[in-house]
Structure 1
Amino acid sequence: MSLPASIDETVKLLSTGAYVAERPLATVLYLALKMGKPLLLEGEAGVGKTEVAKVLASALGRKLIRLQCYEGLDISAAVYEWNYQAQMIEIRLAEASGTAPREDLASDLFSEKFLLHRPLLQALEPDTAGPPVLLIDELDRTDEPFEAYLLELLSDFQVTIPELGTIKAKEPPIVIITSNRTREIHDALKRRCLYHWVDYPSEERELEILRARLPEAPETLSREITAFVQRLRGEDLYKKPGVAETLDWARALIELDAVSLTGENINDTLGTVLKYQEDIARIEGSEAARLLSEIKTRLAAGEEKVGL
């Protein structure tokens, strides 16, 4: 599938994967695709940053190549590594036969057939479906030296392997980088990207997301879940729930055949929306009952107003 030709087409493209995108996000994604630049998405965990790359790859029919970042990530895990076991076998065979000159053996050992392609190198390879979507997920978890290594890739879409030379993509991959901002990403890398902060959605948009992802959910339940989660984000919690937790909570309540929120089913399922015991202890019981009463009153008042 070809790239979207407008912002509206970008919104529609994401909607095919049930991703409800606000126009500013669709705009910066469209520009990143049009300009061939990486897109850096920052925001709290669970707000849908990673999902952008997944939905984009699926909607375009492109391969998704994901590099999950972590502390200590290095070139051998992210870019390439030599197949040392196969090289040792080649050396043993050459020694046993005694036929291969030492110079020929040395050059052969560091040839393409002994090279293990890791995600970043894979993303530079041509594909019949078109350039892949490269997802560099949670870049803020890596060390700064690895971030610095990415500069060549993001500038020229190439990597340099000392034994082989420079490998450059014939067509640049679509690059989506995510960060939860546990540390600041260096300015040099940010300059190579377009940038967007993915915030928690408004109540109306979160309800739209829930409807798109879980159309089987009862309407009353969807409205109450959305309103309750919105209120939770206003509480003094150790970790505010993201959209991912909203969807998990809705799925859990659907499995329990719930048609609306009650004090009992909230207390029974808080562990799907809150992930720290301190937060659960703060909300369960009387606090959950208070929040539920407030949202039911507000939603009922809104329905009466619509009826008038």
Structure 2
Amino acid sequence: MKAMRIVEFGKPLELTDIYEIPRPKSNQVLVRVQAAGVCHTDVSVRSGIIYKRINVNPPKLPLIPGHEIAGIVEEIGDEVVGLAKGDKVIINPWQGEGNCFYCKIGEDQYCDSPTWLGITTDGGFQEYVLSTHNYVYKIKNLLPYEAAPLACAGITAYRASKLAKLNPSSYVAIIGAGGGLGSMGVQIIRALYGSTIIAIDINEEGLELASKLGADYTLNGGKEVYQEVLKITNGRGVDAIIDFVGSENTIKSYYTFLAKLGRYIKVGTFGGGLPNEAGLKLHSMGWQFIGTLTGNRKEFLEVVSLAENGRIKPVVTKLRLEKANEALDNLEKNKVTGRQVLIP
């Protein structure tokens, strides 16, 4: 089978023929990959920097990245129930070992000893992938390339939107609104909360996409936007900011237009931290700065249901598996709107 593997961190992925297809153990499912989304996290996995940011020891190389995976069940272990060969499925890559405190309270994504497909173990940039069976979900109405981005872009945007505590009277700014996560965030907020959406991106094509998906206002983040945001919000500022970039520049630039009692939801992993001057205003402004990491299994089911019912739909560009390096380079160069999806 074909696979795109990291042989050395910081180097391009290498196309490899792996002659032995893995066999599922008792509680595992072998999935024939039909679509694998390409995330900014995959860029950080290729470079190796992600492991410093999440404080996890890097896995032994070679590693096959890719954590947004949809396909067809090829084979099941003898303890697997509820799944059969031929089922169309999406894989939840954020898998817990089941016994730590966070798994027991239903927040598997914060497991103390997690298995994250494509990050700590082999993922979806290959023709077949193994997964623990209770993280594999059947899908009905979705094509594989529509389903795959839900496994990270969809679930992460869904969780972030919940944490923002929005309602129809809220103003929310979405940073990176034209990217894979941002474009999902615009749709989710439009579908569930009806808040006024201010889309911010440095990519004009991304802003056009955000507008088509339901953003009420679009602002180019390469320019000064503070006064524009105050004008839109009648001088009050936004009730929530969902930052899908999370860089030092975005946090420093945008927290300033949070309204009193506002929430800043940091999603992106570009290394940004809370500026000192923001910390000094926490008490007087009543601000909340919240970090979030994907979502739990219940939320995973909920976001898949939203897509199955046609209320949200990932915007995708399809590429062949062999184009994985090109897809990652596109992300590094900010040349992507929506989500790129690799097709083996």
Do Structure 1 and Structure 2 share a fold, with TM-score over 0.5? no
Larger radius of gyration, structure 1 or 2? 1
TM-score, with normalisation over the residues of structure 1?
0.31
Name the one with the larger strand percent. 2
TM-score, with normalisation over the residues of structure 2?
0.29
